[in-house]
Structure 1
Amino acid sequence: MKILMVEDNKSVCEMMSMFFEKEGWDAIYAYDGKDALVKFNEDPKSWDMITLDLNLPEMDGMQVNAEIRKVSKTVPIIILTARDSESDQVLGLEMGADDYVVKPFSPITLIARMKALYRRANLVNNEENEEEKNEKYDIVTDHLKLSTKTREVYLDDKPLNNLTPKEFDLLKTLAQKPRQVFSREQLLQLVWDYEYYGDERTVDAHIKKIRQKIEKVGPQVIQTVWGVGYKFDDSEVD
């Protein structure tokens, strides 16, 4: 982790530096509120954790916390302070801090709290990023993502390129109902939008081309159901 420790007591910083080094963490120290904001704003996205004292020269820790939160809503902040009143704790948390540790504190306990907060923050960020990513796609299965808006298809996060419009529509029709078996007649009606006139080879030819393109990037997800038709199923492929 890259940590910004905002603390006016240099002996506390020196003590914690030994523990940070043992963990392999990169720590930068600020000894007053204004210097903390200068260091933070040099590269706001680079910080993994901030520990913040409340009783600071130049600018109070609560003000520093508020200014940081104007720039970043997500960087984890742990308040370290001798203020142990419940009202101070509530105020700090309401202003956007993620945790509150009262001095004097055990360095080992602080390290454990920092690790736990870092894990939680990363879990939330990963879930949010995955949700945001999935919102771009109309179909998301175990191995496939498909967007009708951009007409993009990804198999195991690899792009499935060069699909013709009909190949895309055929794959979408199958993938939007995984494991459902479609007859050739049904696929002709759904994808080509005309009644079945006996030429099943149209479907077979397009399935063959899609399979050839799939094989270049990932597992085969279009299965033949002999005597019936085709289905999309990626639930059991590696």
Structure 2
Amino acid sequence: MSRATMLLVEDDAALAELLTYHFRREDFEVKHTVDGEEALLLAAEATPDIVLLDWMVEGLSGIEVCRRLRRASETANVPIIMLTARGEEEDRVRGLETGADDYVTKPFSPRELVARVNAVLRRVRPALAGEQLTYADIEMDTVGHKVRRGGELVPLGPTEFRLLRHFLEHPGWVFSRERLLDAVWGHDSEIESRTVDVHIRRLRKAINQGGKPDIIRTVRSAGYSLDSGS
């Protein structure tokens, strides 16, 4: 595996130095900036594998940086982990709805953050490169368009297939209806967000046949997640 590239957007000099040290020791190539506007320029010049983004940075706010990274085609699918001193649920939900994939509340252990970043990249990289996606007892052949659960073939419509594929590429991540609309139906879609609920119900019905446990979790006020609960 080639070296993973990280864009670190953090204006606390001591914390930025600590994180840069830890991630370079893990063989990451780290680019650091304290400024939101510069972060967007750096991401546009060379798409990073992952972005660590502080909620409160100079220039543009972290939320606005996150929003613009999601809008740009080059960075629309780059994982973004927000670093925040804010622990309120409303703030966490706002961050997720803006496009963050995960968040870590300060203070945190650098080792914990390294582990979480590595977990995200393990999920993303095989999904981007491979033809077979697996999670728990679900297997998807992305080329043959076949899905099996517990070895049994699961018939899915094209929309449910795309939904499940998106979940399989990001297990454990919580997606708002708006994020799912963008990812599965496309940015220019005129479909209402409640349509997502209908397709989630269809997907659940198909993959839970035979009394199998439901592994699509509804996250109150946030959206949906592929989560085995283990």
Q: TM-score normalised to the size of structure 1? A: 0.52
Flag as ranges the 4+ runs of structure 1 deviating above 6 A.
128-133
Question: More deviation in 117-126 or 65-74?
Answer: 117-126
Counterpart CA distance in 1 for 2:103 and 2:36 is 18
SS of corresponding position for 2:63: helix
**2:54 paired residue number:** 53
**1:28 paired residue number:** 31
**Matches for 1:134-149 after TM superposition, within 5 Å:** 134=143
**1:62 paired residue number:** 63
Which stretches in structure 1 are left out of the alignment for 5+ residues? 137-238
Query: Is it true that 1:38 corresponds to 2:41 in the alignment?
Result: yes
**1:102 paired residue number:** 105
Q: 2:77 aligns with which of 74, 77, 98?
A: 74
Aligned residue identity for 1:87: E
Aligned residue identity for 1:134: V
Aligned residue identity for 2:104: V
Which of 1 and 2 has higher RCO (CA within 8 Å, sep 6+)?
2
Counterpart CA distance in 1 for 2:50 and 2:6 is 5
Evaluate the alpha carbon distance shift between residue 127 and residue 92 of structure 1 in structure 2; reply closer, same or farther with a 3 A threshold: farther
Instruction: Quote the offset at 1:126 in angstroms.
Output: 3.1
Evaluate the alpha carbon distance shift between residue 65 and residue 129 of structure 1 in structure 2; reply closer, same or farther with a 3 A threshold: farther
Q: How many residues align?
A: 134
SS of corresponding position for 1:27: strand
User: Could you say which structure has the larger radius of gyration?
Assistant: 1
**Matches for 1:1-238 after TM superposition, within 5 Å:** 1-44=4-47, 47-71=48-72, 72-127=75-130, 134=143
Counterpart CA distance in 2 for 1:58 and 1:6 is 11
Aligned 8 A contact 2:131 2:143 in 1: no
Aligned residue identity for 1:27: V
Aligned residues with identical type, % of pairs: 37
Q: TM-score normalised to the size of structure 2? A: 0.54
Counterpart CA distance in 2 for 1:128 and 1:9 is 41
- What value does the CA root-mean-square deviation take over the aligned residues? 2.2
Instruction: Quote the offset at 1:84 in angstroms.
Output: 1.2
Which stretches in structure 2 are left out of the alignment for 5+ residues? 134-139, 146-230
Counterpart CA distance in 1 for 2:5 and 2:129 is 18
**2:226 paired residue number:** none
Question: More deviation in 103-112 or 12-21?
Answer: 12-21
Counterpart CA distance in 1 for 2:46 and 2:37 is 15
Instruction: Quote the offset at 1:120 in angstroms.
Output: 1.2
Question: More deviation in 59-68 or 114-123?
Answer: 114-123
Instruction: Quote the offset at 1:112 in angstroms.
Output: 0.3
